[in-house]
Amino acid sequence: MSFPVDLIRKDFPILTRKMSGKPLIYLDNAATTQKPQIMIDTIVDFYSNYYANIHRSVYEFSQIATEQYETARTIIKEFINAETTEEIVFTRGATEGINLIANTYGKKFLKKGDEVLVTEMEHHSNIVPWQELAKEIGIILRYIPMNDNGELVLDNIDDLINEKTKIVSIVHVSNSLGTVLPIKMLFDKAKKVGAICVLDASQSIQHLNIDVQEIGCDFLVFSGHKIYGPTGIGVLYGKSNLLENIPPYQTGGDMIRSVSFERTIYADVPQKFEAGTQHIEGAIALGASIRYIHNIGLEKIFAYEHELLNYATNKMKEIPEVTIIGTAKNKASVISFMLEDIHPHDVGTILDKFGIAVRTGQHCTEPVMKHFNIPATTRASFAFYNTIDEINVFINGIKEVIETFK
């Protein structure tokens, strides 16, 4: 049975819009995904029918809101196969999640000379928090290099993961190259030296089945807007024993059990890490989006997106002026590319005139750009609502860009 993309597209109202007078072809899914009607309806339903604060009141609306908020936590727990719902913490996004880990676990358990290992293809969000920790307490930040295919160079991995390694924090899928990293192998090595494993799943949660218990990560982060949910909501998964033994990241309301002027007793996890009024509708809507994805099936989604990736890659290889940046054997549906001497911003601007939305720039991965000695790339990233016909328009758009600059 073929993938029902025509039916799925009907679930996304924005896909009927036009851009620059042309039918919208949205190929910026690695930056953020469009939203299904069920997610939009969920937010409208919350504001229209049971808007209230949570965890605080006994009246009916508040009880319903609290139940829906906690149901979303359960949906996410089951989606990533966490052991308990208490291991699911709502954050503002993956960036806040990594900052939380660095500023709580990092400051409590790491000391001068300890090593944190990342990769050369990390998003800035998984570099800068560790650099700040290095400034503050003197940890050493090391990275696994990559080759010109965009694959990790693992020749010296047993030297990089050593008795000084305390945290291995790595991206699952590169947002700028599409590379799928061998996380299970790296985490297995990390466990042998007693290191904590952190997974940035921002670019994989919407493509790949993730079982946190099977892959052996201690922490995992992702952003809701990458998996067809709202902005401003994200998830931090942490093993219960770790969350219980680190201090809160922020303090204030709803994360305390008792306050006096002499002392404060914090609430149990996960509430200990959810200070203030939460993004209630964001969490509930994220639960709806994840349930929507689950009902379609990530295996089917990935297989279809891989068809799109292979088709687009082969078509682009037929154009002599195109250089694809990142040609790993194991990739998700992302293609970064250069067009000879044409700057990526010019490429994106001209493609916009054809209704094609792509990303141009460094994609918050400046070390990747430095590795390839390029200023930026144009990036096309595909989702399960994209089509072969859209890719054909995209390929013709690339040819038009080339003709424009001849």
Split the chain (406 residues) into runs of 10 and give each run's mean pLDDT. Answer: 93 96 98 98 98 92 96 98 98 98 98 98 98 98 98 98 98 98 98 98 98 98 98 98 97 93 95 96 98 98 98 98 98 97 96 98 98 98 98 98 94
Position 56 scores a pLDDT of 81
- Contact by Cβ (8 Å): 372, 43: no
- Contact by Cβ (8 Å): 162, 193: yes
CA gap 330, 310 in Å, rounded: 12
Return all residues near 212 (Cβ < 8 A) that are at least 6 apart: 80, 81, 82, 199, 220, 237
Measuring CA to CA, which residue among 307, 146, 295 is closest to residue 315? Answer: 307
CA gap 215, 88 in Å, rounded: 17
Measuring CA to CA, which residue among 308, 312, 305, 244 is closest to residue 273? Answer: 244
The CATH architecture annotation of domain 50-295 reads 3-Layer(aba) Sandwich (3.40)
CATH of 5-28+297-404, one of 3.40.50.1460, 3.40.1010.10, 3.20.20.80, 3.90.1150.10: 3.90.1150.10
DSSP-derived letter for residue 28 is B
- Contact by Cβ (8 Å): 386, 301: no
Q: Is 3 helix (H, G, I), strand (E, B) or coil?
A: coil
Classify each residue of 53-72 as buried b or exposed e, where b means 16 or more C-beta atoms within 10 Å of its C-beta. ebbeeeeeebebbbebbbbb
- Taking phi over 0 as left and psi of -120 to 50 as alpha, with beta for the rest, 363 belongs to left
CA gap 313, 311 in Å, rounded: 6
Q: Which helix (H) or strand (E) holds 191?
A: helix 183-192
In the chain, list all ranges with CATH 3.40.640.10.
50-295
Position 1 scores a pLDDT of 57
- Contact by Cβ (8 Å): 368, 176: yes
Structure tokens at 385: 């609502």
Return all residues near 119 (Cβ < 8 A) that are at least 6 apart: 143, 144, 146, 152, 170, 171, 181
CA gap 227, 76 in Å, rounded: 12
Position 385 scores a pLDDT of 98
DSSP-derived letter for residue 252 is S
pTM, to two decimals: 0.97
CA gap 19, 328 in Å, rounded: 33
Position 3 scores a pLDDT of 97
CA gap 334, 386 in Å, rounded: 13
Cα dihedral sign, 322-325-328-333: negative
217 is catalytic: no
Q: Which helix (H) or strand (E) holds 109?
A: helix 107-109
In the chain, list all ranges with CATH 3.90.1150.10.
5-28+297-404
Exactly one of 140, 319, 364, 374 is catalytic; which is it? 364
Query: Distance between alpha carbon 8 and the CA centroid of its chain, in Å?
Result: 22
The pairing of beta strand 196-200 with beta strand 219-223: parallel
